[in-house]
Amino acid sequence: MSRPIYFNNHPFRFLLYLEWILLAFAAFTAVLPSHPDRPHMRFPELTICSLMFFGFMGLRLPTRNYITKIIYTSIEIFLISITGFLGGKTARLFPFLYIILVTRSCLIFQLPGRIVVTVLSFIFFLLTLRRRFERMPLSPATQERFWFFTLSFVLVFGLSLVFVLLLMNAVLSERQSREKLAIANEKLRQYALRIENQATLEERNRIAREIHDSLGHSLTALNLQLETALKLWQSHPTKAQTFLAKAKELGSKALQDVRQSVSTMRSHPLQEQSLEQAIAGLAENVQRSTGVAPICQIHLSHSIPVEMSTAIYRIVQESFTNICKYAQATVVKLEITTTKTSLELKIEDNGLGFDLTQNTTGFGLQSMRDRTLALDGHFHIYSTPGSGCKITATIPLSLSLLTVREIHD
């Protein structure tokens, strides 16, 4: 613990109640009249004050400074010794005060300090017991029975100290485990919220990109066609009809883009199919759009997590989309291979290429980079104007499922 233990933040408040009950009982026996044949209390006021001070010390346990802990424990042992040597009838209860001492030491010390306090408690218990029994005259007939019960009591008390030590260690360990678990759960909850926000932001960016690249372009062209048709409607009706027909075609294409985007958002890309089958479907779309059949080489030596497959699919999908829209390539190559430790992805085309200093901050490229980095991978783009483009991604396979959840779907 980082702060002292008070009554309001005591981890086991019932221990305080047990201490107070025991100390109250000890103080009550101190004021009862003594039997003439039994030892009288020499300083009853001092004994009662010692018990009260010992009880109040339990309301504040030091947990920071090690020297303070030692001084605190030394004062406790001194107060217990006063009760043991001067307590008269109350001294019968002094062994239980050592149990309270061991219990408190478990709250303020680590395991080595707890063991030291337990050993010291047992030693001081033996010294106090020896001191008290030296003043007791015993007949030879009762000495054997007396020592038998004394040794039995010493053994039981020692085992009690060990039991209290082990019990407190177990209870504290279980409590610390619960606290660590609660902290881990809170961190996990915060992490999940961050991931959810990140996924939401990325989905917004993807939708914005789709609107800008497909629907926005189609609607802009549609608007131009309609404006031209309006200008030519009076003077050249035939040409105006041609522009209206083109506008209708662009409107149909925009509607198709909207439906395709909605369908993509609703369905899982790898639902009921493998990564190879899903990528084959993307390659067919590229061939239908450009007339170029991508050369796909996929060699997966072992299975990969579904979450990683989804991210790979999205990267390939984004790359193929950019190739179809901008590259004007005649050759497209895709290669996916796995090693013992990583997955290698390479997409290459011989299209127009672009300037890396001006075209690496768009939605598509940034999305691919973010997906790779989210999987603790490395993403690189190699391109120059007129020399095509090459994209590589290296993703480690030894990933925690917490970092590869479906956050980029």
In a domain, 398, yes or no: yes
Q: Would you place residue 116 in the very low, low, confident or very high pLDDT band (cuts 50, 70, 90)?
A: very high
Is 252 among the domain residues? no
Q: Are 130 and 33 members of one domain?
A: yes
pTM of the shown model: 0.46
Same domain, 175 and 276: no
pLDDT band at 289 (very low <50, low <70, confident <90, very high): confident
Written in H, E and C, the secondary structure of the chain is CCCCECCCCCCCHHHHHHHHHHHHHHHHHHHCCCCCCCCCCCCHHHHHHHHHHHHHHCCCECCCCHHHHHHHHHHHHHHHHHHHHHCHHHHHHHHHHHHHHHHHHHHHCCHHHHHHHHHHHHHHHHHHHHHHHHCCCCCHHHHHHHHHHHHHHHHHHHHHHHHHHHHHHHHHHHHHHHHHHHHHHHHHHHHHHHHHHHHHHHHHHHHHHHHHHHHHHHHHHHHHHHHHHHHHCCCCHHHHHHHHHHHHHHHHHHHHHHHHHHHHHHCCCCCCCCHHHHHHHHHHHHHHHHCCCCEEEEECCCCCCHHHHHHHHHHHHHHHHHHHHHHCCCCEEEEEEECCCEEEEEEEECCCCCCCCCCCCCHHHHHHHHHHHHCCCEEEEEECCCCCEEEEEEEECCCCCCCCCCCCC
Based on the domain organization, do 139 and 34 belong to the same domain?
yes
Same domain, 33 and 182: yes
**Cα–Cα distance between 312 and 293 in angstroms, integer?**
20
Percentage of the chain exceeding pLDDT 70:
78
Q: What are the Cα distances from residue 260, in Å, to 254, 315, 317?
A: 10, 18, 14
Domain-embedded: residue 202: no
* Amino acid, single-letter form, for residue 324: C
- For residue 215 the two structure tokens come to 């629907």
Q: Provide the residue type at 164 as one letter.
A: V
Same domain for 276 and 143, yes or no, is no
Any idea of the CA torsion for 17, 19, 24, 26, to the nearest 10 degrees? 160
Establish if 206 belongs to a structural domain: no
Whether the predicted pLDDT of 88 surpasses 70: no
Least confident of 18-27, 104-113, 381-390: 18-27
Q: In this predicted structure, what is the pLDDT of residue 89?
A: 53
Residues of the domain holding 90: 13-187
Last residue of one domain, picked from the residues 152, 187, 222: 187
Rounded average pLDDT over 162-183: 88
Q: Name the average pLDDT for the chain.
A: 79
- CATH number of the domain that 362 lies in? 3.30.565.10
Sheet holding 342-349, edge to edge: 295-299, 332-338, 342-349, 389-396, 378-383
Q: Are residues 278 and 182 in the same domain?
A: no
Cα 105 to Cα 99: distance, rounded to the nearest angstrom = 10
What total number of domains does the chain contain? 2
| Residue 332 confidence (pLDDT) | 95
Residue 407's pLDDT is what? Answer: 39
Residues 168 and 285 in one domain: no
Residue 234 or residue 348, greater confidence: 348
The verdict on 173 and 282 lying in the same domain is: no
What does the H/E/C string look like for 119-164?
HHHHHHHHHHHHHHHHCCCCCHHHHHHHHHHHHHHHHHHHHHHHHH
- Domain assignment of residue 211, yes or no: no
The answer to whether position 223 is within a domain reads no
pLDDT tens digits, residue range 6-59? Answer: 767 677 777 777 777 777 776 666 555 554 444 444 556 777 787 778 888 888
- Which of 187, 209, 241 is at the close of a domain? 187
Domain boundary among 139, 164, 187: 187
Residues 152 and 283 in one domain: no
pLDDT of 153 strictly over 80:
yes
Q: How far does CA 90 lie from the centroid of its chain?
A: 52
Same domain, 182 and 280: no
- Degrees (nearest 5) of the Cα angle 369, 370, 374? 120
Q: Is 128 exposed, middle or buried (0-12, 13-18, 19+ CB in 10 A)?
A: buried
311 belongs to a structural domain: yes
Q: Angle 363-374/140-210 helices, nearest 10 degrees? A: 160
Q: For position 143, what pLDDT does the model report?
A: 67
**181 and 44: one domain?**
yes
Residue 320 and residue 171 share a domain:
no
Is 224 within the bounds of a domain? no
Question: Across the strands, what pairs with 348?
Answer: 333, 390
Confidence label for 324 from pLDDT (cuts 50, 70 and 90): confident
pLDDT of residue 263: 66
Instruction: Using a pLDDT cut of 90, give the percent of the chain over it.
Output: 15
